[in-house]
Amino acid sequence: MGKEIKFSLVYRDMWQSSGKYVPRVDQLKKIAPVIIDMGCFSRIESNGGAFEQVNLLYGENPNIAVREWTKAFNEAGIQTHMLERALNGIRMFPVPADIRKLMYKVKKAQGVDIARSFCGLNDHRNLELSIKYAKEAGMISQATLSITHSDIHTVDYFMGVVNKAVEYGTDEICLKDMAGVGRPVTLGKLVSEIKNKYPHIMIQYHGHSGPGFSVASILEVAKAGVDYVDVAMEPLSWGMVHPDIITIQAMLKDAGFIVPEINMKAYMKARALSQEFMDDFLGYFINPKNRYMSSLLVQAGLPGGMMGSMMADLKGVHQGLNQTLEANGKEKLTEDDLLVKLFDEVIDIWPKLGNPPLVTPFSQYVKNIALLNVMQDIQDKPKFSIIDNNAWDMILGKAGKLPGTLSQEIIEIAEQQGKEFYTGVPQDNYPDELDKYRNEMIENGWDFGEDDEELFEFAMHERQYRDYKSGLAKKRFTEELSKLKDEARKPKSESGHIKADPGKKDIASPYMGKIFYNLNYFIEEQAIELGNLIKKGQRICYIESGYTYDEIVSEFDGEVDEIFFKHGEEVSKGDVIVRLK
């Protein structure tokens, strides 16, 4: 008799890995019974990561979404699991301990069974409170390894994290292969080591399909004793997302494992509903290139979902960099040339930055530094001359201990800028804040919500929650979607934005997103003003898109003649942000 392997559908992550938004609550309620009818899932991903921010961004209450999404699965006896980033909770930057603790109580009350907790740096100190708080709330704790591939990230290295997680009391272990670069045989060895040492521990594997290893990896971890495998389904499987349930079920069945049968009639209905959601509005925010796989990701190790944003980055700077090269009598570069340069730069700087696993948000930090280095290098400027505040926190140890060793070059730059390295427990940097949010909600007359869920949402996602409460988020989203639909109906030749002025120089957004003038959430940098003198390579703003924050720099010298967008406003691809004369 073969070993039984169970499946988990990461339905909401399918959307998050493909585009900007996830289905609305009415859409989730519509498809949940159909997913249950498929009869092949023991677990369903319920929420976490960026999902709840996404709900707020289009004006929907994330707490209602979680409760309604989990309800049908709870009643059907299917377990639900959330994804959370340990020190960062379910946002992109550190969370005070009292807010982290409240999160588990709220999510358990909302029907979430399992807390999948990962630290992007694999620092077990960040996992300790996640395990403690999850178990205190009555949840199953699933401590998670951020899988990547390097000389440092060996089976012994990962077992060191597992040993501490088991010591802290975790119930399960998840291998989160977020870039899909884990090598199949090595992953199998890791699962074997865990099972041999801790046979009572359940193991779940989560792997993206971008570089092409995922099917082989699933077979190897299955042979080694894995208990659960995360899968996706059409029309959003493969590409930069996850392997499809049909393929994985057939493969494991052929290999002698006990796997559930798939109700194909229900599968096709769920597939049709997902396509209906795409046609409704979600498809307008999905980059078609995320449907493709790329072996270029094998060496760079960047998560597949970042390919779309990287290509947009390159399109945005391509023309300006070629103008620089041409002015210096050098050969111009194709987009493919630039892409290879970017991948090579990631490969080069990754060990210099201490080999952080390339998972959100650290993948964004490394990619942003690499892109800026490529731009600086082409302009004959020193590399690492521009590093944002959040990336510095990673470098300095404020987010946790880096797996590798910083290069002397980075250490010297830090010292030159008066930066101080931190070796303490990361959570100690962030004092409790829940009372501050509680008092403000009382002053505003805002309802704390069932089980304090609204208090939690405000404390976790302050900026997005304010916009949700005011109605601004819904207004922005409606305008954004209307604009995209209008553009989709126009011929390409008519879909420009601001009429060009041949006598002036435009700095345009390379993709859709939101403008910020500083990556520090608590300090709003003064916006550029009319009449400011701008140098080529000078930062104009940051664009937030898909929870990456990319710096937009001027391709020209000039004086600011017109400014078309304010801090926090949404832009579409091609929108002129600033015009110089």
Per residue in 438-487, pLDDT tens?
A: 999 999 999 999 999 999 999 999 999 999 999 999 999 998 888 878 77
Backbone angles phi, psi at 255, to 5 degrees: -80, 0
Q: Which residues pair with 79 in a beta bridge?
A: 43
Q: Is 8 helix (H, G, I), strand (E, B) or coil?
A: strand
Packed helices 25-38 and 62-76: angle between N→C axes, nearest 10 degrees: 20
The pLDDT value recorded for residue 313 is 61
Q: How confident is the model at residue 323 (pLDDT cuts 50, 70, 90)?
A: confident
Length of the chain: 581
The pLDDT value recorded for residue 462 is 94
**Would you give the end-to-end CA distance of the chain in angstroms?**
75
- Cβ–Cβ < 8 Å for 301, 350: yes
CA 229/CA 216 separation, integer angstroms: 13
Q: How confident is the model at residue 524 (pLDDT cuts 50, 70, 90)?
A: very low
Domains and CATH numbers, the chain: 6-290 (3.20.20.70), 494-580 (2.40.50.100)
Query: Which of the given ranges, 69-73, 346-350, 354-358, has the highest pLDDT on average?
Result: 69-73
Tell whether the model's pLDDT for residue 395 goes beyond 60.
yes
CB atoms within 10 A of CB 30: 14
H helix runs in 200-334, sequence order: 214-224, 245-254, 264-280, 297-300, 307-327
H helix runs in 77-136, sequence order: 97-109, 124-136
> Nearest to residue 33, comparing CAs of 279, 231, 270, 280?
270
CA angle, corner 316, sides to 292 and 473, nearest 5?
80
Backbone angles phi, psi at 202, to 5 degrees: -75, 145
Query: Which of the given ranges, 15-24, 410-419, 503-512, has the highest pLDDT on average?
Result: 410-419
Burial classification of residue 325, based on how many CB atoms lie within 10 Å of its CB (0-12 exposed, 13-18 middle, 19 or more buried): middle
Q: Which residues pair with 563 in a beta bridge?
A: 578
Q: What is the mean pLDDT of the chain?
A: 88
Residue 443 neighbours by CB under 8 Å, 6+ apart: none
CA 485/CA 160 separation, integer angstroms: 51
Render pLDDT for 128-137 as a digit per residue (tens, 0 to 9). Answer: 999 999 999 9
Q: How confident is the model at residue 170 (pLDDT cuts 50, 70, 90)?
A: very high
More reliable by pLDDT, 538 or 457: 457
Q: Which two tokens stand for residue 471?
A: 């109605």
pTM metric for this prediction: 0.80
Tell whether the model's pLDDT for residue 97 goes beyond 70.
yes
Q: Which residues pair with 228 in a beta bridge?
A: 6, 204
Backbone angles phi, psi at 516, to 5 degrees: -135, 150
Q: How confident is the model at residue 46 (pLDDT cuts 50, 70, 90)?
A: very high
